[in-house]
Amino acid sequence: MVVVIPALSAQTSGPRPGAPTPSAPAVDVRSLVATARQRMEATDFSTTGHLVWVQPSGARISYPITIKAHWFPGVLRVKVEMGGAKSGAPDAAAATHVLVELRPDGKSAIWIAHPGDKAPLPLPFNKWSEGPLGPTFGYEDFLEEQIFWPNQTLVEKAKFGARDCDVIRSTPGAGDRTHYSEVKAWIDPTIAFPVYVEKTVKETGAVKEFTYYGLMHEGGLWAAHQIEMKTRGQDGSTLLIFDRGSPKANLTLKDFSPAQLTRF
């Protein structure tokens, strides 16, 4: 997923990417990537919403979620607070707090805490691809490291719904810690924002699909109201729905402290 502020708009929908359109003049990939990096380096938001686990049977379990993010010199910190399911379903996940630290040099880290923990614990790299609701939406998906990967290529121009998009393929360098072999993003160049993303898992070749709904301009930034995450060929999905938030939250280091992470 791309870390975004909420857009308070009605949900929209669109088809999966279609066949590529005829070639057009080459876009400046470096400029698009630079815009994405500049947006990340201006991050300072707080948002609340809910994470919905849509099971293969169609049953839904909803979890309250709060996300706070701020760019500090050389590091993006994202704190995710997921509450327990209100439905009380027997297979529901427990409350979880996560701190993601994204560093452009590849030395990113993820910390996790559960009720009763006295201090957050570092999440081992082999657990990054997991998540509180399973592998479809993993902890690593909060990192968005691909915009700092060294290899960025324009694959094609393609339609996504009514939008003309530049499809950018990002691949990691030898020193990048990631469970993905590549990330392809369908970016609307008029707003420099993705409408659809595919992430290919190194170990299995599985493709995870992220579709962005309800795009609108909010607080000077483009944002999505909802992100749907699916693994291609598998039933079930995860929905990340933003209800409200502030694009300028004036967050400080205190908001991301260990004491805050272990406070339930």
Using only C-alpha atoms, the chain has a radius of gyration, in whole angstroms, of 18
- 209 closest CA partner among 155, 141, 127: 141
Residue 14 lies in a domain: no
- 40 closest CA partner among 60, 69, 81: 69
Residue 149 lies in a domain: yes
- Tell whether the model's pLDDT for residue 124 goes beyond 80: yes
Residue 87 lies in a domain: yes
* Residue 210: other Cβ atoms inside 10 A: 23
Q: How far apart are CA 241 and CA 54, in angstroms?
A: 13
- Tell whether the model's pLDDT for residue 51 goes beyond 60: yes
Residue 3 lies in a domain: no
Residue 18 lies in a domain: no
CATH number of the domain bearing residue 189: 2.50.20.10
The answer to whether 188 and 164 have CB atoms below 8 angstroms apart is yes
Q: How far apart are CA 5 and CA 90, in angstroms?
A: 32
Q: How far apart are CA 154 and CA 152, in angstroms?
A: 7
By residue range, what is the domain housing residue 141? 29-261
Total domains present in the chain? 1
219: pLDDT confidence band, cut at 50, 70 and 90? low
- Tell whether the model's pLDDT for residue 224 goes beyond 80: yes
- pLDDT for the residue numbered 63: 93
Residue 167 lies in a domain: yes
pLDDT tens-digit profile of 241-261? 999 888 899 999 999 999 999
- Tell whether the model's pLDDT for residue 166 goes beyond 70: yes
pLDDT tens-digit profile of 82-107? 998 765 565 667 899 999 999 998 88
pTM recorded for the entire structure: 0.85
First to last CA, the chain: 25
- 142 closest CA partner among 150, 130, 153: 130
- pLDDT for the residue numbered 88: 54
DSSP characters over the chain: --------S-----PPP-SBPPP-SPP-HHHHHHHHHHHHTT-EEEEEEEEEEE-TTS-EEEEEEEEEEEEETTEEEEEEEEPPPTT--TTPPPPEEEEEEE-TTS--EEEEE-TT-SS-EEPPGGGTT--TT-TTS-GGGGT-GGGGSSEEEEEEEEEETTEEEEEEEEE--TT---SEEEEEEEEETTTTEEEEEEEEETTT--EEEEEEES-EEETTEEE-SEEEEEETT-S-EEEEEEEEEES-----GGGGSHHHHT--
